[in-house]
Chain A
Amino acid sequence: MTGICKEEGSYTTGMEFFDCNVSYGMDIAASQLYPVHTIDRVHAEMKRAGVAKAVVWRIESATAGAQIGNAFLAQDLKKYDNMYGVWALLPPHTHEVFEPDRMLDEMRKNRIIGWKLCPGQARFMVKPFVLRTWLELAVRHNIPLFVDTADGTSLEALAGLLEAYPELTVIFTDANTWPNDRNLRPFVAEFPNVYLDLSYCITAGGIEAFVKEYGASRLLYGSRFPYSYFGANMLMIKHADIDEQDKVAIAGGNMKRIIEVMDL
């Protein structure tokens, strides 16, 4: 599992892939056949697959703690300007991550474009009163919250946050149930800024059926690399039975727009 594409940049398709779900680092909780420990390796694999940009997450932000992983990530991102980071969030009450009045400035300086909740490992409750300070900041500045049910946020807990803050931008990965339209569609229908990461939305005909009902603006290309291949969902999007402009939006346009409307 090595190799860098020498023909980098020679396969332009007009469809830019911006992956919303990439991670790397040294996972102490799970073994992988071919782990990806460094951002350099992520970058090489992105080139091989033809992925232009990615939102990346350092595994240690959950397994070693937000302070450790967030600092690693900020350092790593200095090397590659086609990657954008996501920091782990903790309740502000314990003052373990940047204080709210400093957070936005640090995010801007370090190309951090969102926050991730890992209540399973970090052990806190996902309730509006626990995260109020962050949620108010997120709504005010259009900062996306990356929520993956595999990290310990239940669907009920997410529903609670959104009922309290319906304008919240959420990039939602539902890892616990599949096929999952029965869970996902009500969130999309009810809350205008909920976006679905396609990492686990890989049902036959799923994209076509969703776009027909809700349009393409709420779907984001995500691979879940290195746990899945970059190319599997790329081919699924590229040859979906939907309009070309919808494919472009899902591949990268929607993620790009989410970052553009952020106000840091």
Chain B
Amino acid sequence: MMNCHSQLAQRFWEYGRLRECPVLDFHGHMGPFPGGYMPACSPEEMLKIMDRCNVIMICFCSHQAMMAPAIGAAGDIAVVQKYPERFKAYHAVVSRHLDPEKDLEEVEKYPDVFVGFKFLADYYKVPLTDKRHQPYWEYADKKGLFVLVHTWGGSIYDGPKEAEKILERYHNLIFIAGHSFHGDWEGAVELAGRYPNLYLELTAVLDDRGALDYFVEKLGSERILFGTDLPWFATHHGIGAVMSAEITDEDRRNILYRNGKKLLARFPWFKDLWDKYGAGEV
């Protein structure tokens, strides 16, 4: 039953999805990936998985948007327009192929599509503070957008030290630390303690037993967001890990949807979506 100390875990165990505990996923991708086979990478396959877990919405940036600049954001825009209640997009910041004027115009043009930007500095080997990124940080800060950053402990491109240089400067954007500075759990908690606009996101954290327990113990559960990298990690695997951690059921609810709901409330389209699905199932 995963965790006999948790009533919420027992209900998830029985049903796999709960009307009264929806899930908001803040870290998704889409499409084929060069380094591995992902059987559920189409939007429709992702939706099937989301439905099985009552994930009402996922914020994503497709592999193609991040790795094939010739395609850019067009595919992601089309997916969000096809499924506007289930998908929202991060605009990729492809460090070596930037066109800030075009990119920011695109984000401006589609306020119902984009929630912010996605940085993948480790992959591109360009640090977050590179001056080429500045227009994106400035824009996100001005508009109060989300910035999902792939972060990794010890990285010179997107580790805690590099992230802090951004956080010192920009206080209005929401810095979502994808993977929570993976491995440097202490650094992640310290940084989150100093910067209220930093949120720790759980993709690739949840296969390491103890990291989530440690975050909640040291930081509390209100600055933690659920994420799966879908179509990478199985969503039920992630939920199973959240249910297994030694935290309270209130903490689990904060992580799975309450914190996300508070953040998403800044977008005009979210109220209708939440009113429709938030108290029930998709």
Contacts and interface: CB of A to CB of B under 8 A. Distances in A.
Interface of A: 1-3, 5, 7-8, 10-11, 13, 32-34, 47-50, 177-182, 202-209, 225-236, 238-241
A161 B167 CA distance: 52
Interface residues of B, number: 48
A182 B239 contact: no
A121 B1 CA distance: 36
Interface string B6-49: 00011011001000000000000000010011111000011011
Given A204-B228, A235-B13, A50 B2 contact: yes
> Which 7 A-B residue pairs are closest in the complex by CB-CB distance?
A205-B40, A235-B240, A231-B2, A231-B244, A179-B36, A33-B210, A239-B16
Nearest to A181: B37
A48 B45 contact: no
A157 to B, nearest CB: 22
A233 B209 CA distance: 12
Which among A7, A49, A207 has the highest number of chain B CB atoms within 10 Å?
A: A49
Contact of B244 (A5, A49, A179, A182): A49
B218 to A, nearest CB: 11
Interface of B: 1-5, 9-10, 12-13, 16, 33, 36-40, 45-46, 48-49, 52-53, 185, 206-211, 213-214, 228, 230-241, 243-246
Contacts, number: 148
Contact of A204 (B12, B230, B239, B244): B230
Contact of B238 (A2, A3, A232, A241): A232
Contacts of B246: 1-3
A236 B10 contact: no
Contacts of A209: 39-40
A202 B234 contact: yes
B5 A33 contact: no
A117 to B, nearest CB: 23
17 contacts: A1-B210, A3-B246, A179-B232, A202-B207, A202-B237, A203-B37, A203-B39, A203-B232, A203-B233, A204-B231, A204-B234, A208-B40, A230-B244, A231-B2, A231-B243, A232-B240, A239-B16
B232 A231 contact: no
B2 A203 contact: no
A181 B33 CA distance: 13
Given A1-B213, A179-B36, A239-B16, A229 B244 contact: yes
Given A178-B36, A205-B40, A235 B236 contact: yes
A235 B231 contact: no
Nearest to B211: A33
Given A1-B246, A11-B1, A206-B39, 12 more contacts: A34-B209, A50-B2, A202-B233, A202-B234, A205-B231, A206-B234, A228-B208, A229-B245, A232-B241, A233-B237, A234-B2, A234-B240
A11 B214 contact: no
A7 B240 CA distance: 20
Contacts of A235: 2, 12-13, 16, 236-237, 239-240, 243
Given A11-B1, A50-B2, A182 B36 contact: yes
Nearest to B33: A179
A162 B233 CA distance: 30
